[in-house]
Amino acid sequence: MRHYAEMLYRLLEAPYGESFFLLGPRGSGKTTWLRAKLSGAAWFDLLDEGLYQELLVDPGLFGRRLSTLAIGSDVVVDEVQRLPNLLNEVHRFIESHKLRFALTGSSARKLRRTGTNLLAGRALQHYMYSLTPEELGATFELTEVLSHGSLALVWDARDKAQRLAAYVQAYLKEEIQAEAVTHNLASFARFLPVAALFHAQVLNVASLSRDVGAARSTVLGYLQVLTDTLFAFQLPAYEATLRVRERRHPKFYWVDPGIVRAIKRQLGPLTLEEKGPLFEGFIAQLLRTYQLTFGLFDELFYWATPSCEVDFLLVKGDEKLALEVKATARPRPEHFAGLVDLAALKGVRRRVMVCLVTHPERRDDGIEVWPLSLFLTRLREKRWEALVGE
């Protein structure tokens, strides 16, 4: 079987002539993509334990090896967060030798503390997550993606369920234990399946703390770990007119449906009650990918009142697009309640429900119903106007 990289492309293009960070969870395909894009680059793989130990003992070795390269050479430092102090030398050689660096990372924790500020303005930031429908092409199948996700490492596996289970264990061992992210690995491991139940829900830390049986501060720390290791993200509520004390809790999403199911140890056939949150999370991550990769819109929120909610509010300048997501081919009247209430919000260009119908529809109140296929087609155009109308 051929490797996925031979069959599928990635949306991201390598910045021409500039250094950049490439961030994403382990297994998202960063290394494979870089080997294809920068085949002639000098390579420093910090997952190579021998090289890691050499540089740990003798940090100056990195600079001595860089000094042998020709002016303007390409250099890849894979998993740079393992030795973030190397970024001092990266900074120096960008200036002195005009070297172009590609710096990959699967954890923003150490980079945020010690690294990225050193390269402010000298290295772009790009992200790579799961394979999108556009990247999967004809192999995209919604049920398969919701069941096992589309991380590159998993998509290429013969036994996806087995690969996902191993992936979660490797995350705990290599990302959490090895990097000493938390002093209580057992407690963190107990936290994960409970946090998986909060996928695509408004995040109530007090409730999560009770369910986990841990202090609120501990749970907040664990949530930060998930964010830092690029496994999860939080979506803020749109609060243009609310006072601070009225601010709503964010919604919580994992970055891949397969990760959610593997953490819950629920990798059998997709159940009806799972499908809705997994579909919403799939759309959430898809929107983030197009935002981060193409700047398709400026900001992403959810919108809510005490009585109803709209899953996504995309903002670009003064314009807004409201999206409700339902994993059904037969949306019911109550599914439109949030989109109906949101009609008066200033700047809303379009109100759309994305669901599993086969043909687009338009209601008398102006709300549109899009099949998933139409939504994906509009995304592929990578233009705001394709989403909100010319």
Q: What CATH number is given to the structural domain containing 162?
A: 1.10.10
Q: Give mean pLDDT, residues 252-269.
A: 95
Does residue 256 sit in the same domain as residue 142?
Answer: yes
Rounded distance, CA 152 to CA 171, Å?
A: 15
Does residue 13 sit in the same domain as residue 84?
Answer: yes
pLDDT > 90? residue 311: yes
Contact 284, 290 (CB under 8 A): no
pLDDT > 80? residue 174: no
Is the residue at 289 inside a domain?
no
Among 152, 162, 171, CA closest to 230: 171
Span 234-257, pLDDT tens digits: 999 998 764 444 568 999 999 999
What CATH number should be reported for the domain holding residue 323? Answer: 3.40.1350
Band (pLDDT 50/70/90 cuts) for residue 122 is low
Q: Give mean pLDDT, residues 294-309.
A: 94
Is the residue at 290 inside a domain?
no
Q: Give mean pLDDT, residues 218-246.
A: 82
Does residue 328 sit in the same domain as residue 225?
Answer: no
CA torsion through residues 166, 172, 177, 178, sign: positive
Total tally of structural domains belonging to the chain: 3
- Residue 180 is predicted with a pLDDT of 56
- Residue 171 is predicted with a pLDDT of 83
- Residue 275 is predicted with a pLDDT of 97
Q: Give mean pLDDT, residues 271-286.
A: 97
Does residue 264 sit in the same domain as residue 319?
Answer: no
Does residue 146 sit in the same domain as residue 92?
Answer: no
Residue 183: which domain range? 133-280
Does residue 300 sit in the same domain as residue 185?
Answer: no
Domain termination residue (choose one: 127, 148, 165) = 127
Domain termination residue (choose one: 107, 127, 147) = 127
Dig out the tokens for 114 from the structure.
Answer: 């010690």
Does residue 161 sit in the same domain as residue 261?
Answer: yes
Domain termination residue (choose one: 231, 252, 280) = 280
Does residue 107 sit in the same domain as residue 69?
Answer: yes
**Model-level pTM?**
0.92
Among 167, 130, 156, CA closest to 4: 156
pLDDT > 70? residue 118: no
Contact 388, 321 (CB under 8 A): yes
What CATH number should be reported for the domain holding residue 121? Answer: 3.40.50.300
pLDDT > 60? residue 117: no
Is the residue at 285 inside a domain?
no
Is the residue at 225 inside a domain?
yes
Does residue 139 sit in the same domain as residue 269?
Answer: yes
Does residue 152 sit in the same domain as residue 268?
Answer: yes
Residues 6+ apart with CB under 8 A from 258: 147, 148, 149, 150, 151, 154, 160, 164
Is the residue at 54 inside a domain?
yes
pLDDT > 70? residue 1: no
For the purposes of burial, counting CB atoms within 10 Å of the CB of 95, is it exposed (0-12), middle (13-18) or buried (19 or more)?
A: exposed
Is the residue at 370 inside a domain?
yes
Q: At what angle do helices 372-381 and 272-294 cross, to 10 degrees?
A: 10
- Residue 84 is predicted with a pLDDT of 87
Q: Give the length of the chain.
A: 390
pLDDT > 50? residue 191: yes
Does residue 183 sit in the same domain as residue 267?
Answer: yes
pLDDT > 70? residue 5: no
| Locus of tokens 């085949």 | 39
Is the residue at 41 inside a domain?
yes
Does residue 351 sit in the same domain as residue 268?
Answer: no
Is the residue at 287 inside a domain?
no
